[in-house]
Structure 1
Amino acid sequence: MGRTFIYDAFGNKILTIEDELIDAPQKGKVIVNSVEAIYEFTENLLIIKNLQGELIDEKGKVVGAGVDSEDINNKEFKPTHSFKIPTSFNKNEVEDILIKIKQYQFDTELLELKHNDRGQLTDLVFRIDDETFVFNVLESVTFVLIDIDERNNRVNVTESKE
């Protein structure tokens, strides 16, 4: 019988399971920061729950405690920051906007950018976290507006013909 060591992204050991996680599915008990918990291992996914069946983090705290997913979806979107990408922007200017958005803990990436002969954006594709935004033929659009609700970690992206 072996052990499995679980590390965080920084290489710090956060958990030791007194079992080898080689065969999936697998279940068992584990102590997480003095909290008795249950682990479930399926293929490449390890889930840790407290004895009440609630997901817990590496400190033994309930993940999302007091937050209901329906509450999150029903919360009013209140922009705390707004960014405009005019159709006249070049690649560097668009990338600068996406870099500014990253400072609010969003993962961003410019996937595609095309201009017409007049230097106007015609195709713009970018990703914010797990959502990809695609804008094709932007000729009647003057800018793309990216609103951030930092309190609720949400983004709203729209075209504007202002």
Structure 2
Amino acid sequence: MTPAPDKKPDRRPPYQHAADELRRDIRRGRIKPGEQMPSVRELQERFGIANMTARSALNVLRDEGLIYTIHGRGSFVADISDATGEFTIDYNPPAWYLAKKAEAEGEEEGGAGKPDGESAGSSLTDLLTALRDEIRALSAEHQELRREVEALKRAQQEPKP
């Protein structure tokens, strides 16, 4: 029999692992607001992942508002923090990130605030409800932006007097 590993293997998808590491680098100031993110090729080499996996990691950060991309130039860290390094009101981390952060803080305190089975179920329900609401709001915003883009395209195509 082989001995059990000391630590559980990381079961997150590779793109999520890469996104978490990059998010951590941004939060710790290793990559500052306005600085260019590592290229997809550099991410491939750093994390040992495929091209599309590296792109997916960047997409996660872009969807969260941590980075923005300029076509043909690359991805850059958004200015989402104030002087204290905390997220400003303009940035709303996803509900799953806040839940994970709260869980980690609870573990640091020696597990004193760990919920029992019943409250864990209700907190999961609350989390899922919050995620659903976020998705609906983002979807509505996305549809509105699509309509605006279509209107702008139509306005550009109209003949000028």
Query: TM-score by structure 2 length?
Result: 0.20
| Larger Rg over CA atoms | 1
Higher relative contact order (CA 8 A, sep 6+): 2
- Bigger strand fraction: 1
Query: TM-score by structure 1 length?
Result: 0.20
